[in-house]
Amino acid sequence: MHVLLIGAYGFIGSDVARGLIAHGHRVTGVGRDLSYGRRILPAVDWRQADLATMADPARWRPLLAGVDAIVNASGLLQDEAGHAVQRVQADAIIALVAAAEAAGIARFVQISAANAELPASSIFLRSKAEADRALAESSLAAVILRPGLVIGRNAYGGTELIRMAAAMPLMTPLPRATGTIQCIGMGDLVAAVVRGVEGDTPAGSHDLVEAHRRTLGDIVALHRAWLGFDPARGTVLLGGMAMGLVAGAADLFGRLGWRSPLRRNAVAALAAGISGDADGAVALLGRPALPLEAVLAGWPAGKQDRVVARLALLMPLMLAALFLLWMGSAVATFLHFDEAAGLLRAGGLDDRLARFLGGGGAVVDGLLALLMLHRRAVCFALLGTVAVTAAYLLGATIVRPDFWLDPLAPLLKVVPAAMLSLTAYLLLARR
């Protein structure tokens, strides 16, 4: 079958794409960044579309030519710059349903979420429920999957937060107020999607969760053991005020493009609980869903998993340290501008050139620090700090070669900072 897959290079969508292709289906993927999609999924035929602009059925019609089935694996946890959850998860998908009806599409598989109800407190769940209702009321042969917390080989959002908590040394921090959570392995979710596309599951809405109801602490402990870390010596329970401050800060940085797993909606979803009817998995898969222990046992963790989990904890500290270094350099230069220019004059530069280079360097330092605050600009800024460091070292070698022998080693100390920038750049690559 020819399947149109929305959100094809996402956390769930990329695994769904591989599963459909492995079962002999032709997949056309829809996404914003086609070059990225082609790199990670070259077997997919890619089409460009931004869901934030797809609220009109007419925008979908060119993408539906020759399509036999549609799978929606897209999702947006929280409003971001230029991408509102309501438009992406509800308006665009409702328009797609209307376009699919007009085109006579055979089947539509919607990956929704457990607890997606219209009265839900979160816009993520409400918008999913709106799309679910439109699909259920349509003439399409629709299978609506409502998975629990999806556990995949990779991690994103809530699962990334769990691995970060599992990687904490000695103690495990957890919200004080938590609900029970039912997980679902990515393999079971992909199998349910494939069966839905092939017509092997009944139409309608189905929960897809394991039978076990677990606390967040239990899930973190299982991941800690899976990663091969020593058991935690204790738990630090964070009250509502502390979690609110953390989530508020993460939301603030979310406005700058950072998709932190600590944003309010992710934390609230885990704290409120994620649950469903485990019997739904039998209707979808012909068997119960695998329990979390079996899911994790199927993916033995390696050194790379432990390293990435620990580095996820360090990433904010890395960026904060680099921001302080470069912004501090800019501020210090402006506060002691005459002394900074004097260092260059002592190397033989005239006063005007010394002041120009000193002031210009401070401006560049400050701009690079500010660019680090925005997700879309941070990689450029990190490479910029490496380039500027190289320029500083070259210029200092020409103007003040004596600095290489200075007892405080001011030139040698910037080399590790440049290496930290390169490390952060590599870690910030897309999932």
Retrieve residue 217's tokens.
Answer: 């602490």
Distance CA 98, CA 88 (A): 15
Interacting residues of 283 by C-beta distance below 8 A, sequence separation 6+: 201, 202, 206
**Mind listing the pLDDT tens digit for each residue in 201-253?**
889 999 999 999 999 899 999 999 999 999 999 888 888 788 888 888 888 88
Q: Find the mean pLDDT for residues 307-326.
A: 93
Indicate the length of the chain as a whole number. 431
Retrieve residue 211's tokens.
Answer: 């039978």
What's the pLDDT band for 29 if we cut at 50, 70, 90?
A: very high
Choice between 381 and 270, residue whose per-residue pLDDT is larger: 381
**Mind listing the pLDDT tens digit for each residue in 170-182?**
888 888 777 899 9
**Mind listing the pLDDT tens digit for each residue in 49-75?**
999 899 999 999 999 999 999 999 998
**Mind listing the pLDDT tens digit for each residue in 338-365?**
998 898 898 889 999 999 999 999 999 9
User: Residue 381: what pLDDT?
Assistant: 97
Torsion of CA 195, 92, 256, 164, to 10 degrees: -20
What's the pLDDT band for 99 if we cut at 50, 70, 90?
A: very high
Query: Does the pLDDT at position 77 exceed 80?
Result: no
Retrieve residue 378's tokens.
Answer: 């941070």
Distance CA 82, CA 213 (A): 37
Choice between 26 and 262, residue whose per-residue pLDDT is larger: 26
Query: Does the pLDDT at position 293 exceed 60?
Result: yes
Query: Does the pLDDT at position 279 exceed 90?
Result: yes
Domains and CATH numbers, the chain: 2-301 (3.40.50.720), 314-427 (no CATH)
User: Residue 317: what pLDDT?
Assistant: 92
Predicted TM-score (pTM) of this structure: 0.87
Q: pLDDT exceeding 90 applies to what percent of the chain?
A: 67
Q: Is 17 left (phi over 0), alpha (psi -120 to 50) or beta?
A: alpha
**Mind listing the pLDDT tens digit for each residue in 101-156?**
999 998 999 999 998 888 777 788 889 999 999 999 999 999 999 999 999 998 88
